């Protein structure tokens, strides 16, 4: 794969141009997408990139070029087109589902009919009287109804004077069925006691008119249909990232109709659709709800889980005047906010656009078969015709001439080519699942053997994404057991991640202590909690709030200064505990480092891959984790937005690196999609998983180098299969032309080549 810029048209779209994304239905291979792209870029005022994997045309066009004319140009090529800006997502999904259902139905029916045809044709003992007529009846619907997608594509290609592997599949099926039907009706193969003659050479003479090849016409469509069905499912999953992003957050908002614009107070509560909000509207957000849209807090305070943007699991305190982003979670407070951005200007919409752009920039992957189809298919068709003509001139016998021509078509039939990628992928992905690695599709394998840099997110990947107490200090003279017992009781009333971590730590440390009774609990969103314990006034929360609340703004005690210094150096959040106005304890928190991270980093370096850290967390916290897992300080990039992560990946690629990306959050999705190899944690967000190429089952990071190694081995196997498939044709086609093969032997050779491909792929089961 190449950088995003390399995937776009060479045209540069002026800033005044408009953009539209079109879903193109009916492209059967990468040659189709290339043809559509070429036609669009030939239009004046149009710059287009067509992605076969996502079935989408990304088009920039002059305002003088209406979208309707662009759609008409694509439709003239024989494809159905939908404007994604006007077509409902449900309609597009329905269109895809209908196509996938059709492929599944054709595959299953064709397979059911083809199996008995194959058995009757290959096992002489089963060739009872009239068996050939049974084969004819079973094969005919497969050859025409089952293989119709290939015939339709071949006719469309013929109309545009081009050829693809569909052309060869269609020609092979039609030739095998036509020859066999002719032999059945006019060549003596229709007799009740007919048994397939086992003749191996064209040269042996007149008996060739009796050969039947219904098994070729029946089995070939099944192979290719099954591959198309699997491909359709993989392509649909490739769009899940955007569909998941579109579903984030809430669909409704609580509008404060008539509220004061300056304070957000007053007004009447009305539930409305988020899409109807306008800039300047006042909205109320309740605890536990998603922030509906981007805006500024006018009244109230809370803690916001902004992990969608930052990837960090610690909620951020927000107060009046702070900005909040749509799609983030309001943890524990209530506030009113002014709407600042709507539609495409919101942060969530911008992330959606980044993911879409990154996916469109993926290299348009096509099998080696498709890349050489431009010359291979017409070459085979021409050789078949010339072979038939040559043998007719040499022998004067039509049956021998037709037999020789059909032999060339059959021996060149792309069964092995069709199996080369899906069988290796099937075995490789199955082995990957056993090793804790889910590989999504062949498009991820093209450059993985060259990966030399891996960008690692911090929270939820190098760390486990759960908070724990890493340091505690009790004021001199304080009763540690009593303080911990109070902390355990008070923090047990909160759902805040830090409160839960402190409650767990205190409960474990104060095990055996009597749990005190807690009264008059008051949660202060974004600050902390107040409560009464044994007639003592207890406050637990942010250290700056504790010091301000209890008039501790002066010089901090020496024990606290030491604790603050250590916490600040490591980027640890700090919580203070005050009892009756006296600061009695301080606790520092940190995310738990993934125990497998260090081993994974060492293995990656041993494979020649440089690990770097990309995180939205503060640099001190990032450096502490990097030091623990073995990442160099100069390879740590912190305080990053989703756009910054995307930029780092893009810059690395533009500088010639082949980049892998490991992440788990929505903020990683665009970078995962743009990276040459995107790897997501199974414990992460659905958006990250859907945008990635590889998903790790569980939290064992040792699976990261395993996934890259397995991807390399699978790619190597696919290339071996393709070389064999083409090498087989290079050897067998000349033999067929020379008459050293009959269609029967050609069919056997084709089956043998497929068997070799499958057997080679099965070796992946032993990958370690």
> Known catalytic residues?
457
| Alpha-carbon gap, residue 744 to 403, rounded angstroms | 10
Sign of CA pseudo-dihedral 175, 177, 180, 186 = negative
| Joined tokens for residue 202 | 């064209």
Q: 517 exposed, middle or buried (CB, 10 Å; 0-12, 13-18, 19+)?
A: exposed
Q: Quickly list DSSP for 580-600.
A: TTEEEEEEEEEEEEPTTHHHH
- CA distance from start to end of the chain: 26
Number of H helices, E strands in the chain: 25, 25
Tell me how crowded residue 651 is: count the other CB atoms within 10 A of its CB. Answer: 12
Using the 8-state DSSP alphabet, how is residue 290 labeled? B
| Alpha-carbon gap, residue 264 to 295, rounded angstroms | 12
Compute φ and ψ for 472, nearest 5 degrees: -135, 145
Contact present, 589 and 469 (Cβ < 8 Å): yes
Closest CA to 312 of 424, 432, 466: 466
| Alpha-carbon gap, residue 490 to 702, rounded angstroms | 39
Tell me how crowded residue 340 is: count the other CB atoms within 10 A of its CB. Answer: 17
Between the CA of residue 162 and those of 38, 40, 151, 157, 166, what are the distances in Å? 13, 17, 14, 5, 11
Q: Quickly list DSSP for 657-718.
A: --EEEEE-SGGGHHHHHHSSEEEEETTS-HHHHHH-SEEESSS-TTHHHHHHHHHHHHHHHH
| Alpha-carbon gap, residue 222 to 229, rounded angstroms | 10
Q: Quickly list DSSP for 411-438.
A: HT-THHHHHHHHHHHHHHHHHHHHTTEE
| Alpha-carbon gap, residue 339 to 326, rounded angstroms | 10
Closest CA to 692 of 718, 671, 723, 717: 671
């Amino acid at each position: 794969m190449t950088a995003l810029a390399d995937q776009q048209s060479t045209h540069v779209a002026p800033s005044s141009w408009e953009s539209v994304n079109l879903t193109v239905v009916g492209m059967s291979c990468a040659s189709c997408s290339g043809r559509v792209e070429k036609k669009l870029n030939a239009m004046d005022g149009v710059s287009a990139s067509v992605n076969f994997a996502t079935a989408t045309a990304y088009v920039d066009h002059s305002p003088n070029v209406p979208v309707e004319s662009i759609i008409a140009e694509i439709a003239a090529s024989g494809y159905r087109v939908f404007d994604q800006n006007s077509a409902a997502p449900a309609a597009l999904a329905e269109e895809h589902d209908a196509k996938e259902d059709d492929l599944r139905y054709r595959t299953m029916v064709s397979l059911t009919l083809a199996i008995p045809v194959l058995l009757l044709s290959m096992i002489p003992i089963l060739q009872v009287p009239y068996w050939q007529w049974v084969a004819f009846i079973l094969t005919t619907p497969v050859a025409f109804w089952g293989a119709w997608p290939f015939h339709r594509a071949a006719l469309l290609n013929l109309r545009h004077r081009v050829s693809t592997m569909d052309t060869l599949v269609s020609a092979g099926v039609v030739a095998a069925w036509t020859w066999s039907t002719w032999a059945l009706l006019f060549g003596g193969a229709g007799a009740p006691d007919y048994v397939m003659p086992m003749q191996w050479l064209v040269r042996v003479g007149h008996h060739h008119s009796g050969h039947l090849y219904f098994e070729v016409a029946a089995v070939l469509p099944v192979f290719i249909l099954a591959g198309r069905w699997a491909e359709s499912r993989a392509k649909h999953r490739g769009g899940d990232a955007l569909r998941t992003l579109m579903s984030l957050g809430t669909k409704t908002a609580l509008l404060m109709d008539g509220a004061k614009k300056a304070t957000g107070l007053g007004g009447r509560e009305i539930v409305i659709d988020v899409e109807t909000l306008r800039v300047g509207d006042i909205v109320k957000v309740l605890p536990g709800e998603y922030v509906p849209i981007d805006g500024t807090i006018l009244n109230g305070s809370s803690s916001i889980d902004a992990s969608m943007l930052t990837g960090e699991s610690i909620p951020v305190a927000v107060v009046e005047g702070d900005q909040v982003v749509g799609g983030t979670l309001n943890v524990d407070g209530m506030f009113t906010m002014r709407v600042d951005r709507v539609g495409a200007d919101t942060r969530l919409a911008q992330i959606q656009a980044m993911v879409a752009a990154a996916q469109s920039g993926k290299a348009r992957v096509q099998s080696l078969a498709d890349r050489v189809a431009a010359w291979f298919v017409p070459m085979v068709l021409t050789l078949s015709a010339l072979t038939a003509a040559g043998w007719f001139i040499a022998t004067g016998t039509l049956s021998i001439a037709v037999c020789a021509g059909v032999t060339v078509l059959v021996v060149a039939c792309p069964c092995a080519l069709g199996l080369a990628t899906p069988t290796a992928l099937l075995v490789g992905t199955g082995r990957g699942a056993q090793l804790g690695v889910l590989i999504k599709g062949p498009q991820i394998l093209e450059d993985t053997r060259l990966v030399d840099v891996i960008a690692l997110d911090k929270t939820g990947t190098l760390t486990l994404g759960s908070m724990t107490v890493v340091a505690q200090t009790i004021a001199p003279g304080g009763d540690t057991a009593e303080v911990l017992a109070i902390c355990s009781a008070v923090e047990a009333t909160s759902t805040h991640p830090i409160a839960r971590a402190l409650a767990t730590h205190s409960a474990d440390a104060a095990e055996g202590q009597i749990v005190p009774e807690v009264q008059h609990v008051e949660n202060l969103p974004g600050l902390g909690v107040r409560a009464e314990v044994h007639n003592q006034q207890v406050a637990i929360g942010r250290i700056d709030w504790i010091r301000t609340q209890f008039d501790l703004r002066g010089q901090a005690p020496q024990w606290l200064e030491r604790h603050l210094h250590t916490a600040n150096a490591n980027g640890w959040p700090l919580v203070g505990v005050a009892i009756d106005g006296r600061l009695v304890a301080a606790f520092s928190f940190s995310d738990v480092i993934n125990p497998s991270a260090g081993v994974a980093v060492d293995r990656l370096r041993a494979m020649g891959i440089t690990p770097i850290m990309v995180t939205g967390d503060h640099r001190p916290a990032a450096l502490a984790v990097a030091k623990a897992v073995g990442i160099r300080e100069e390879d740590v990039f912190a305080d990053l937005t989703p756009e910054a992560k995307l930029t780092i990946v893009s810059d690395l690629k533009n500088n010639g690196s082949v980049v892998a990306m490991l992440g788990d959050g929505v903020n990683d999705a665009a970078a995962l999609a743009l990276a040459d190899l995107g790897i997501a944690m199974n414990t992460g967000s659905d958006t990250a998983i859907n945008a990635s190429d590889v998903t790790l089952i569980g939290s064992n990071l040792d699976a990261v180098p395993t996934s890259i190694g397995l991807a390399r081995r699978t790619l190597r196997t696919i290339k071996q299969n393709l070389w064999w498939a083409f090498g087989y044709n290079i050897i067998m086609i000349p033999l067929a032309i020379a008459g050293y093969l009959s269609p029967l032997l050609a069919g056997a050779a084709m089956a043998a080549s497929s068997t070799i491909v499958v057997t080679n792929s099965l070796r992946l089961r032993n990958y370690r």
